[in-house]
Each structure stands twice: as C-alpha cells, then as structure tokens.
Amino acid sequence: MGFFHLSLFVILGTFPAALLAQGVMYSSIAVNVTETIAETDENFVCATIDWWPHDKCNYNRCPWGYSSAINLNLSNPFLGRAIQAFKNLRIRIGGSLQDQVVYDVGKLKVPCHPFQKINNGLFGYSKGCLHMKRWDELNCLFRNNRVVVTFGLNALFGRHRIRQDAWGGDWDSSNARDFIRYTISKGYPVDSWEFGNELSGSGIGASVAAEQYGKDLIALRKVIDELYENSHVKPLLIAPGGFFDEGWYTKLLQVSGPGVINVMTHHIYNLGAGIDPNLVSKILSPLYLSEISKTFSDLQETIRKHGPWSSAWVGESGGAYNSGGRHVSNTFVNSFWYLDQLGMASKHNTKVYCRQSLIGGNYGLLNWSTSLPNPDYYSALLWHRLMGKGVLTVESNAPSHLRSYAHCSKGRAGVTLLLINLNNETNFITRVHNNNVKSLVVEKQPSTEEGTILIRGLKKTVSFVGTRSSKAAPLFREEYHLTPKDGYLRSQVMLLNGTPLEVTEDGEIPTLKPAFAHVNSLVSVAPLSMAFIVLPSMYAPACA
C-alpha cells in the first residue's frame, strides 16, 4: 500500500471548445514512496570542458571556436554566472584529445607544444600541452565558482602503437605523477582523477587491452595513495571513460581487483552522427529512447557481479557524436532526449551524468560563440535544483509517449515528478487519488457541459506565477512547464510557464519561477512539452 496514485489529465486551452478539440488521454501514475530503488550523487549533473582546438571541424563546419580547456576565455562573465547558478557544478576536463595531452611540469622529457594538425596523429592532431599557468587559471575559475573537478589523465603516455589502433606497453606514470604532485602543492581540490578516454574495447582512435589497462590502474592507485597520504580527503579513481563493452569491462574489474577503481565510467552517443537527418524523429521516439536502457542495466549488472566496490557514471554524453547536431542539439527539442537520459540513468543507479559539453560544439549547454545558455542549460539547472538523490519507482498505465520519473525532492520534503510528453497532439490530465485507487478508467470523452464545469473548477485552482503567502505553502504544489518559443521545436529559446528564459539586462541567469497550483487541482502536460511537478505534501517515508 506504499503507492501514492496520480491520474494524469492535461488541458491545452482555457475554453471548453479547446479542451474538446484536443486529444485527451486519461491515465494513472503510482509513485512508490516507501523505498528508493537507486541513489544519485549530490552533484549528479555534470558538464565537460574538452580539449578540441579552434580548427576542430565536422561536416565542413567548425563549431568549437575558443571553448576548450586550453583557450576558453575564463574571464567571460556569462561563463562564471552560468556555473555559479548551480552553486556546485561538477565539471569534467577531458575528451578525445585527452590522451594526447602532456603536462608542462617536473622532468617532462618530450616537447610541450600546442596541438597541431598532422596526418598520422590521433584524431589528426599532434600531442598538446597543458602549461601550469593555464592550470592555475582554470583552478581560479573553479575555486571562484565552487566547481567540483574531475580531471581526465593521459593514459597513452609512454605507450607505443603495436598495430593499427591498438596500443601496448606499460603506461609511464611520471608525467601524471608530477602533475598530481603540483596540483596537491597548490591546494587544488580535484574530486576525482579519470584514467584515459575511449580506449576500452575496440576503442575510438586507439585502444588498450583490458589486462594491461587493469595493471596500469593498479599503478595509478599507488601513485594517488602515495601523493595523498597526508590528505584528509582522497580523490576517487575512475575509469575507463569509454563505450561499454561487457567483456572488456569485466576483465578490467577482475584484473584491477577491489580497492582500485571507485567508479566505472562509460560514454553515450545513442542518437548517432550529428549530420543524421533523422535526429528529431529519434529524439521523439519512445522506442528509440528506451533502447539505451539495456546498456545501463548491463553495466549495472557487470558492476554487481564483478566490481561491487565501484559505481557507475556516465562520463560523457552528447546525444549525437561529431560535435552534435546543428540546429538540433542546441535547441529545445534536444531536452526531450537529455531529460529522459537523466531520468533513465538515475533509475539504473548512475551516480553522475556528464554532459558533453559545458561549452563547445553544437551540443554545449552554453553557446560556443556567446557563452549564453542553450535550452538544455535550463533543463540541467532545473534538474539540479529540484531532483534529489533518492530515486523512486513510478508505475503508469499511460502510453509510452508519456515518460515519467520521480525523485525525492531536493533539500525539502516531498516528491518531484518529471513528466515528458513526446506526443504531438495528446494532452494528459492528472488528478490525485488515495492509495486504494489503482487507476482511473474513463469510458467516454467529457461532454461540452462537463467540459464547462471542468473549466470552472480550473479557474478556481488554476496555476499562477509569482510569490505566494507562506501560510498557503502546504496547500500548493510547484509546476515548471517547459515549451518552445512560438511552438517551434528547434527554437533556441525555451519558455518556462510561458515566459522566455533569457539572461537579464544585467547579464544574470533568469530566476526560474514556478507556477503554483492547489495540491488537489489538475496537472497539465501539454503535447510536446516537459514538466517538473514538485509535490511538497506527498509524504514519502523513503525520503525521510
């Protein structure tokens, strides 16, 4: 009897004619409030800063500009304010060229030059250099904006190519050791060190055998334990930052053994190439979105069987690879994929989800040329502020086009629902029921008269935007409805409860104001929209 039942109603207009003209679907949602099925990290939402130089191009376009770890304008006020809005945003420094980066510190015996295009280089580039002055500047940005730092180390240093894309030989830890020692000496708080990027399985551009990788992780663990011996907090060791390959991941855990890897990271680009003309149809297909759930469950099972001392992260995910889809990844429609990914990953006990990228490419949370937020930035910020660590089971008899996820609310009592309506013409209508009601069965559409009565009821309990009296707090819920400007799915402007989300005249991130509705009133999720529904009065023993 630990289910709190919700029947979903949605109304598109404020007149009976509009109500009856739209497709209306009645369904039921049940949230199990007695136990959590998974738990995320406090800083679940994460974004990456990559290494790509300004001349990184895909499909005859170069959407990176100056947005990498080596050339990003760190004094840009929009950048700082966008990070500050999260209060504690996790940022991962890493990407395709990560295993080409050398650190200009200590007894480095190889030249430390900028990335240059060369024919036989990994991804067409030479090795690149991270100067310690630049590392100092990055850490100034991180410190001033309370960033939780994950840094991806070069896992190819000292190795040699043995055939085509396969690399062999022991990893040379000397440069990483000097870099970590410098980081500690400066007091820079790195939360986690990641080893390598996309070297698992057959690799992307390069690969390393799992047995060798496991041995190298043992060596890196010794380095970290030694250098952090006198530290109160020891950073996590995470790996391999590649695409999930069950046999390879299993072997890595078996070779490295307990006490070495804290986190298994994997990458997701399940929408395919950025140039794919079918990106939007994939994003709006519940069947397609659900296909990746097998990867989540398979990794979860691999960890349970072979490495229960570790946990799962999505170390990088941009939806569409090769810098994302132009006019898709940076528009409203992409949030259907992104928010669904966050919900799905959470259900499979994923602790952290790193979005490719914070800035850079077409899939940046921030526009690579202006540093202003793209729609997915606001989706990430709302999730970060509203969805707590505890993940709850949701049961629904709604069709697959209505995606639903539930978490304990963040920092307060109650439950927060995320509802995603992928249908382009159906409204889902919601009503709250007691625990004995399993579903709402509707045998006919409401008549015009019934619709009029329904609208009168809505006028009494209709959502409103603004400040409400604290005395009324227990009687109201919060609603955050996300729609595109002018109904255009590829709009770069997202509306929150009908108001455009744009930086203020002073360049500040806009206040994300909820609409308020009486707890017993109807909930509306319009066609092709998303909504966070905060239910402070829903008693959830699992969240206590």
- What confidence category does residue 112 fall into, taking pLDDT thresholds of 50, 70 and 90? very high
Of 244 and 9, the structure prediction assigns the larger pLDDT to: 244
Give 334's contacts (C-beta < 8 A, 6+ positions apart).
Answer: 283, 319, 325, 328, 363, 375, 376
DSSP secondary structure, 476-523, as one string: EEEEEEEEEGGG-TT-S-EEETTEE----TTSPPPP-PPEEEETTS-E
- pLDDT computed for residue 461 by the predictor: 37
- Look up 450 and say whether it is catalytic: no
Cα–Cα dist 126/119, whole Å: 9
Does the pLDDT at position 5 exceed 70?
no
Q: What is the mean pLDDT of residues 97-113?
A: 95
If phi > 0 it is left, if psi is from -120 to 50 it is alpha, else beta; for residue 473 that is alpha
Q: Which of 194, 316, 478, 479 is catalytic?
A: 316
Over residues 28-68, the pLDDT tens digits come to 788 899 999 999 999 999 999 999 999 999 999 999 999 99
Q: Which of 269, 277, 94, 111 is nearest to 194 (CA)?
A: 94
Does the pLDDT at position 486 exceed 90?
yes
Does the pLDDT at position 439 exceed 50?
no
- Mapped onto helix, strand or coil, the DSSP state of residue 316 is strand
Of 11 and 97, the structure prediction assigns the larger pLDDT to: 97
Over residues 238-277, the pLDDT tens digits come to 999 999 999 999 999 999 999 999 999 999 999 999 999 9
Cα–Cα dist 25/86, whole Å: 36
* Alpha carbon separation from 418 to 16, 48, 336, 374, 410 (Å, rounded): 27, 24, 11, 20, 13
Cα–Cα dist 160/173, whole Å: 14
Q: Which residue pairs, CB below 8 angstroms and at least 24 apart, start in 451-454? A: 451/16, 451/19, 451/20, 452/16, 454/11, 454/16, 454/19
Q: Which of 330, 353, 351 is nearest to 340 (CA)?
A: 353
Does the pLDDT at position 493 exceed 80?
yes
Cα–Cα dist 407/388, whole Å: 6
Q: What is the mean pLDDT of the chain?
A: 89
DSSP secondary structure, 337-349, as one string: HHHHHHHHHHHTT
Cα–Cα dist 387/211, whole Å: 39
Does the pLDDT at position 108 exceed 60?
yes
Q: What percent of the chain has pLDDT over 70?
A: 88
Q: Which of 194, 198, 478, 479 is catalytic?
A: 198
Cα–Cα dist 256/217, whole Å: 7
- pLDDT computed for residue 431 by the predictor: 65
Does the pLDDT at position 466 exceed 60?
no
Cα–Cα dist 394/415, whole Å: 12
- What confidence category does residue 473 fall into, taking pLDDT thresholds of 50, 70 and 90? very low
Over residues 368-380, the pLDDT tens digits come to 999 999 999 999 9
- What confidence category does residue 22 fall into, taking pLDDT thresholds of 50, 70 and 90? low
Over residues 333-342, the pLDDT tens digits come to 999 999 999 9
- pLDDT computed for residue 518 by the predictor: 87
Token pair of 168 as six digits = 């062999």
Cα–Cα dist 389/107, whole Å: 43
Whole-model pTM: value is: 0.92
- pLDDT computed for residue 474 by the predictor: 57
Exposed, middle or buried: residue 112 (CB in 10 Å: 0-12, 13-18, 19+)?
middle
Does the pLDDT at position 11 exceed 50?
no
Q: Domains of the chain, with CATH numbers?
A: 41-388 (3.20.20.80)
CA atoms within 13 A on the CB side of 375: 29
How many DSSP H helices and E strands does the chain contain?
A: 12, 31
- Look up 137 and say whether it is catalytic: no
Over residues 119-140, the pLDDT tens digits come to 999 999 999 999 999 999 999 9
Does the pLDDT at position 10 exceed 50?
no
